[in-house]
Structure 1
Amino acid sequence: MGVRRLLPGIVALCLGAVLARWLARVVGVNHLLVAIALGVVVSNAVGLPDDCDPGVATHKLWLGSGIVLMGASISTATVLEVGGPVFLVVLAVTGLTLVVVELLARNVFDLTERLGTLLAAGASICGVSAVVAVAGAVRATEDQVAYAAATVLLFDAITIVVYPIVGDLLDLSGAVFGTWAGVSMFSTGPVVAVGFAYSDAAGQWATMTKLSRNALIGVVVLGYASYYARRGGDGTASVRTLWAEFPKFVLGFLALAALSSLGVFSSAQQTSIEHAYNWLFLLAFVGLGTEIRLADIKSTGLLPAVVVLLALLVGSLLSLTVLSVLF
């Protein structure tokens, strides 16, 4: 019964992936960006039948599976060569973004405390996933969660378009562009999409950097839960909650990267795995496109968007400057 419920949506994702691949060859645009655009058009202009919703929602599973498989093609020697400095950049930009959003939300734009917290979590860690994780720990209201999630999705849609344009204008290398996207964009799906749309090297760096950022979600959830608990705000964060919200595909990615570094996979096997995760990403990004609802973006309030925009500009400019020197 469960498979039958998912089947219509999964078939829709598969058809969308095949169509996106064909359209990309016709128009000469990266197939992953075409997949997202196709999902946006279908969701906003045509609409999907309700029975497709459960299957389309599996796009997060396909994204996670693709990231796990991508670990088999990662060069751990390259990662270790600059991994330390890049992780310091991740920590610095993550912390700076969180602090800037909190300060602007509370002291400049007078947003409610919990809404500022959700915006800070979403902008600094991993988009809507971080918003939901922190919301549960600080007992945020449904309308605050909706506001923060809509704001994050607005910037996901904008950065998918803007980042590749900036990268081309500045003629950034794959390593610089990918790490820049991974350290400053919000959600995992858009980061992986723009990375691989730019180049294979950029896609790998974007994914690795974003995963290291995502892994900080536990620290942020615990920190906010402790803060609100001390203030009598009923903040809670159990070990079970943290494990439930932790992006477990990070562990699979690291496991396959370790096996790859030991020479477990032959060249032919790595090529097959690369084809597999490319198709998984196509499925995921068609589904991701369906989540970008133009009506929801239009309804997003101005002040939360201004707060997040200012934080994004600060983090983006700082990280790009540092990374251009580092690589």
Structure 2
Amino acid sequence: MSHDDESKASGRHRTSAGRATGPASKSSRKSWPARLAERVPGLMLCVAVASVATIVGTWFPLVGGPVAGIVIGVVMATLRPPGVRFRPGMATASRFVLQLAVVVLGCELSLTQVLQVGGSSLPVMVGSLAACLAAAYFVGRLLGIGRDLRTLIGVGTGICGASAIAAVTPVIGAASAEVAYAVSTIFLFNVVAVLVFPVLGHVLGMSQHDFGLFAGTAVNDMSSVVAAAATYGDEAGQYAVVVKLTRTLLIIPICLGLAALAKRRAEKRVDARPRVPARLNVVKLVPWFLIGFLLTATVNTAGLIPTAARQSLGVLSVFLITVALSAIGLSTDLRGLRRAGPRPLLLGACLWIVVTVTALGLQFLTAMW
């Protein structure tokens, strides 16, 4: 059995599971109130875990609620796995709530910020992302890491950590164990970045603006971006947040590309006979939550969301991600993580170095131009 097959087998619960068979298909014939009622226990459990994780995140801002949620969920699943009655709600939390979180995330993004950061920042962001994804593919294959796991670690490192993983997970249908490993790996190197990057910035004599661009590009999670950049200075902290939010927009083309690949693979599995390639239907390809993400970002850009409401929606998006990751943690097979071994961690280290070196190199080149 190939490593890809093993990774698929290790994660029985998949966050994109919606094509149920057997007994699960009977639930599709139930009335809407009945389907909602069977999801309440699992949803309440995920919200409870997320609430505790949010409190932990306020105590330890560098850890944050989403990482705490997935860790608490994995621990609970290891000590006492949730019963069958919790599974429908957990599946809803790990899929629909995850997608809803991406939609709400758009409320933090102003499309005018993309134009404002312009110039040297977009080449640095796009270049470092391209280098990261290429390294994830080649290094991941060299290490024998499954396709979904190396994709999650790649987009999480190259774009924006847990938020990018939240967006990509339902597109590729990653297993819960793979999501848990990816989030944990990226969190580890976020901590390293917070400790190392300010020192590196001073050694290189970077200005506040340059370090803000560097931190916003090379650090993944927002809390870690703020922690690293604010340590360097207020101006660096403010610019890093703008760069980080702009990076979030890169989720859209990445998800579209992955959705196209997933569609082609599904077609090959259904019919392996040679045929004329069908025209790609972009409308059907675009996941609904990406459309929602763009709409909320557009509404925010138009100034229709008050500042106070935008702050509250930002908190809500983080909590929804925490709920979803708590569900994924509760559904995780710890044995699947153990079977993966240290290779995904090694991949995360390689990608972290690639993004760091590429971001610094591109900043240097664009400054020369």
**TM-score, structure 1 as length reference:** 0.67
Moved more, 284-293 or 35-44: 284-293
* Equivalence for 2:254: 216
> Match of 1:299, SS?
helix
Matched, 1:20 2:56: no
CA contact (8 A) 1:38 1:286 kept: yes
**1:105–1:157 Cα change, 3 Å:** closer
Aligned to 1:269, which of 296, 309, 314?
Answer: 309
Displacement of 1:296 in angstroms is: 0.8
What is the CA–CA distance in structure 2 between the aligned matches of 1:155 and 1:257, rounded to whole Å?
Answer: 27
Relative distance call for 1:197 and 1:49 in structure 2 (3 A) is farther
Matched, 1:180 2:186: no
- Report the CA distance between 1:52 and its aligned residue: 1.2
1:40 aligned partner: 74
State the 1:8 CA deviation.
0.9
- TM-superposed CA distance for 1:209, in Å, is 1.9
Q: Which stretch of the first structure deviates more once superposed, 77-86 or 121-130?
A: 121-130
Structure 1 residues 132 and 245, CA, compared in 2 at 3 Å: closer, same or farther? farther
The amino acid of 1:81's aligned partner reads Q
Query: Which residue is 1:138 aligned to?
Result: none
Give 1:79's aligned residue: 114
- Higher Cα Rg: structure 1 or 2? 2
User: Is the contact made by 1:17 and 1:286 (CA closer than 8 Å) also made in structure 2?
Assistant: yes
Q: Among 169, 176, 185, which residue is 2:196 paired with?
A: 169
Task: Please state whether the residue corresponding to 1:159 is helix, strand or coil.
Answer: helix
Map of 1:157 onto structure 2: 184
Q: Distance in 2 between matches of 1:281 and 1:122?
A: 15
CA contact (8 A) 1:196 1:204 kept: no
Residues 214 and 360 in structure 2, CA contact (< 8 A), matched pair in contact too: no
The Cα shift of 1:7 comes to 0.8
Report if aligned partners of 1:32, 1:193 keep a CA contact under 8 Å in 2: no
Q: What percent of counterpart residues are identical?
A: 17
User: Separation in 2 of the partners of 1:296 and 1:21?
Assistant: 26
Separation in 2, partners of 1:271, 1:289:
27
* Corresponding residue for residue 188 of structure 1: none
- Superposed CA deviations along residues 38-95 of structure 1, whole A, max 9, x for unmatched, are 2222122222222212212223432332332233333433332224654434443443
**Are the equivalent residues in 2 in contact too, given 1:40–1:291 (CA < 8 A)?**
yes
Deviation at 1:256, TM superposition (A): 2.0
- Please give the alpha-carbon distance, in whole angstroms, between the structure 2 residues aligned to 1:131 and 1:272: 25
What is the correspondence of 1:276-291 to structure 2 with a 5 Å cutoff? 276-291=316-331
Over the aligned positions, Cα root-mean-square deviation in angstroms equals: 4.5
Distance 1:90 1:246, change over 3 A: farther
Give the residue type in structure 1 aligned to 2:189: V
Distance 1:208 1:24 in 2: 24
Give the conservation status (yes or no) of the 8 Å contact 2:69–2:326: yes
Where does the alignment leave 5 or more consecutive residues of structure 1 unmatched? 136-144, 183-190
Deviations 1:155-200 (A, max 9, x none): 4322213313322332386764443245xxxxxxxx5676688789
What does 1:80-159 align with in structure 2 at a 5 Å threshold? 80-83=115-118, 85-104=120-139, 121-125=151-155, 153-159=180-186
- In 2, Cα distance between the equivalents of 1:283 and 1:52? 14
SS at match of 1:47: coil
- Listed as ranges, the gaps of 5+ residues in structure 2 are 1-33, 156-163, 202-210, 231-236
Q: Secondary structure at the match of 2:250?
A: helix
What residue is the counterpart of 1:312 in the other structure?
A: 351
Deviations 1:120-139 (A, max 9, x none): 6455446698698679xxxx
Q: Across the two proteins, how many residue pairs are aligned to each other?
A: 298
Aligned to 2:84: 50
Indicate how the Cα distance of structure 1 residues 243 and 129 shifts in structure 2: closer, same or farther if over 3 A, else same: farther
Task: State how far apart, in whole Å, the 2-side matches of 1:27 and 1:132 are.
Answer: 29
Distance 1:170 1:70, change over 3 A: same
Distance 2:107 2:94 in 1: 21
Please give the alpha-carbon distance, in whole angstroms, between the structure 1 residues aligned to 2:58 and 2:169. 37
| CA-CA distance at 1:15 after TM superposition | 1.3
Change in 2 beyond 3 A, CA 1:245/1:130: farther
Could you tell me how far apart the structure 1 residues matched to 2:216 and 2:110 are? 15
- Is 2:99–2:167's contact at 8 Å kept on the other side of the alignment? no
**Distance of 1:120 and 1:36 partners within structure 2:** 19
Secondary structure of the equivalent of 2:305?
coil
